[in-house]
Amino acid sequence: MKTPTLLTVAAMSACAAAIAVASSATAAATAVPDTMLAAAFDHGGGPNVLSLHRLPVPKPKAGEVLIAVHSAGVAVWDASDRQDPGEGAHFPVVLGTDGAGIVAAVGAGVHGFKVGDAVYGTGDGFYAQYVTAAAEDVAHVPKGVDLTAAGILAVSGLSALEGIDDVLRMKAGETLIIHGASGGVGTLAVQFAKLRGVRVLATATTDDGLALVKRLGADAVVNGKSGDIAAAARAFAPQGVDAVLGLAGGEALERCIDALRPDHRGRVAYLYGIEPIPRPRLYVQMTLYSYISGVREFDQLNQAVEAARLQVPVAAEYPLADAAQAHQRMAAGHLLGKIVLRVR
């Protein structure tokens, strides 16, 4: 399996980065067209329902920015929404809950953003050349991250950092198992945990995944499918681990939770959407959580990204026209990082 691309400032010179951003900003600063291309679908179904549509460019409302999208993240919940868009869906549906690009216009009452700014954020409809998003759910791209990596940073980055800081409240010197560490959230969670001085035991299910999380800073690794998690945890933390971050479900997660310290002070955070959810334990703090976006949350994320000199693994890249292929690749599993749709 091909090693994922790790996108950092080290991967491109400051001059090249400046040229790329300036070029994109110049393109965005030109007149916004009336129509755009978007990867959308007219009815629910498999990946092949996704195709290019010519749609009107949305207009930013008060409190919103219009983004000329450079890249968008492909998430597992996109597949669920594609298969079952729900009774209230308005077709054609454009997927994509996070991405990055250049501000093309700003709505009334927006402060802190101007046309030409490189931004990333969360919202709806990032599988398109243009998207509107609430200004509070958008942030300037942090130093050290290019627009491709920024396209998959928002949801995964917020999920990772908030799991470490806000839910588990990890402290320097504590021990943590990150289960499912080679995916889009896990690869970032490893780095944020190490930034906080936490000792990390990471699980992954392939040799490439184990090598990746080790390279990203994990202190110890174990194969979550074929390895002996209990033995690895005992060797890593003989008195039991302080916390578990669950990013994948199943029996392997249960074995990770069994490795918690026995004094009723262990804690578990597991991300919304994993299946099956872990069974409850008496005297164990178990928290189901999802990311929260906002000005404060993005400020904290940007600070952590820059302090950690974050590496953002890109599992694969597809052009917007090949969104169906991107979904087929996602369904195949074993992704190291997250899939990116290249829009520009």
Provide the token pair at 277.
Answer: 């959810």
279 and 312 part of one domain: no
Q: Does 241 lie in the same domain as 165?
A: yes
pTM above 0.85, yes or no: yes
Give the Cα separation of 124 and 95 in Å (integer): 7
Structure tokens, 291? 């990311």
State whether 240 and 313 are in the same domain. no
CA atoms within 13 A on the CB side of 279: 7
CATH number at residue 94: 3.90.180.10
State whether 124 and 224 are in the same domain: no
Q: Which of 267, 289, 311 is the last residue of a domain?
A: 289
Owning domain of residue 266: 156-289
Structural domain ending residue among the three candidates 266, 289, 312: 289
Alpha carbon distances (Å) from 30 to 83, 125, 207, 341: 37, 22, 47, 23
236 neighbors 220 (Cβ within 8 angstroms): yes
Sequential pLDDT tens for the chain (344 residues): 444 556 543 343 333 444 344 444 444 446 899 999 999 999 999 999 999 999 999 999 999 999 999 999 999 999 999 999 998 899 999 999 999 999 999 999 999 999 999 999 999 999 999 999 999 999 999 999 999 999 999 999 999 999 999 999 999 999 999 999 999 999 999 999 999 999 999 999 999 999 999 999 999 999 999 999 999 999 999 999 999 999 999 999 999 999 999 999 999 999 999 999 999 999 999 999 999 999 999 999 999 999 999 999 999 999 999 999 999 999 999 999 999 999 99
C-alpha–C-alpha distance, residues 195 and 7, integer Å = 18
Helices marked H in the chain: 14-29, 76-83, 147-150, 154-162, 184-195, 207-215, 229-236, 251-258, 295-308, 323-332
**Any idea what the CATH number is for the domain that residue 262 is in?**
3.40.50.720
* CA distance linking residue 332 with residue 327, whole number of Å: 9
User: 306 and 260: one domain?
Assistant: no
